[in-house]
Amino acid sequence: MRESMLRMEYFETYYYANIVQNVLRNTMDYLAILHSWHEDQQVELFLRPFEKWSVLHSFAQYVIEDLMYESLNDEALVSLAKNTRVDLWVDRALRHHQIKTPGFRKWLAQQGLSIADANEDTIHDYHNDLWLTGELEELMTQLANEVFYVLFSNRALLARLNGYIAGVVRDIEISELSEDGRSLLQKNGVPARVHIPEWVKRAVFFRDRGMCTMCLKDFTGLISITSSDHYDHIIPLSEGGVNDVTNLQLLCSECNLKKGRKLVPVSTRYQAWYSTGV
């Protein structure tokens, strides 16, 4: 099977990854941000099993968008007016990712406006146009994919993200869901157990280098490791853990049986593919 490839351009990718990490390290300080991310969307974001657009993709995109809109103010217009070489963040990002767009200045001219005529509402209108024409959606997808690529290997961060989500899920009651959505919970606050897709198993297997994350047993020599018994929910379903690629880790049968349904800290040991040692 030919593997799909992700083009990595690294436009402020580590900056956004660091913001995501800081929020998840200090969830109590950022409850307003976290709540506004999933407000009224808990079922779609957390209970739909094994969506390709994972909870980490979703949160990364939310953070990036929030930071982008924070920069849309009068100070940006002052900078544009003072220096013709200055662009809005969105235009720099689009250009870096080779996504074609006329840019804010040309867009203004098309509207019969100048920088002097523009205000915050004008900048928002420009961004709305970019959403409608698809350029901004393409950009956000690319940026969120890059942040996911950087952070997916960090199991401790994934445990913090899924630990927060589990706290939200535990408060969801079956009676609150639509008739179609009730099958997503096995009981109040507990997601239903579902089949793990092959693409999820492959992603987790390669992220964990084909080894049990607890005892480091090597699975790479096995002909098949398709059994779901080896794919453990970091935050157990019984504790509100969700069916998401970010909430799985690779365990051998013995370690999985030993862990059971307990909340156990994830391993921070990783196979060193490069070492400065002799």
Q: Which of 151, 171, 200 is the last residue of a domain?
A: 151
| Burial state string for 9-29 with b = 16 or more CB within 10 A and e = fewer than 16 | eebbbeebbebbbebbeeeee
Residues 27 and 113 placed together within one structural domain of the fold:
yes
Report pLDDT for 1.
Answer: 45
Average pLDDT over residues 221-242: 82
Residues 215 and 135 placed together within one structural domain of the fold:
no
Average pLDDT over residues 240-257: 94
Q: Quick check: is 164 in a domain?
A: no
Radius of gyration in angstroms for the set of CA atoms belonging to the chain, rounded to a whole number? 22
DSSP structural state of residue 267: P
Which has more pLDDT, 21 or 180?
Answer: 21
Render pLDDT for 81-118 as a digit per residue (tens, 0 to 9).
888 888 999 999 999 999 998 899 999 999 999 888 99
Q: Quick check: is 220 in a domain?
A: yes
Residues 145 and 187 placed together within one structural domain of the fold:
no
Residues 101 and 212 placed together within one structural domain of the fold:
no
Residues 205 and 139 placed together within one structural domain of the fold:
no
Residue 261 has pLDDT above 70, yes or no: yes
Domain count along the chain: 2
Residue-range definition of the domain harbouring residue 227 = 181-267
Q: Quick check: is 140 in a domain?
A: yes
Report pLDDT for 3.
Answer: 56
